[in-house]
Amino acid sequence: MKTQELKSKFIKVRCEKCKNEQIIFSKSATPVKCLVCSEILAEPTGGAAKIIGHILEVLS
Ligand SMILES: [Zn+2]
């Protein structure tokens, strides 16, 4: 059986602006904003979201 590559994941990112750490969904369909300063941390691309913040950890 093949491994499913497009698994949904949660990613821990750090906002480059205010250093807030936040867990976001890797396949979010909407832009994800920092809860502290509203900087965009991830943008939807149709598939996996484009992560803009600094990735600290990938959680499965
Ligand atoms: Zn921020």
pLDDT tens string for the chain (60 positions)? 555 455 678 999 999 999 999 999 988 899 999 999 999 999 999 888 999 999 999 997
Q: 46 CA to middle of ligand 1, Å?
A: 24
Identify the structural domains of the chain with CATH numbers, from first to last. 10-59 (2.20.25.100)
pTM over 0.85: no
- 3: CA distance to ligand 1 center in Å? 35
Which of 43, 53, 60, 44 lies closest to 21, judged by CA? 53
CA 27 – ligand 1 centroid, Å: 20
Distance 7 CA to ligand 1 centre (A): 27
d(CA 11, CA 22): 8
The pLDDT assigned to 7 comes to: 67
The DSSP-derived string for 27-45 is T-SS-EE-TTT--EEEE--
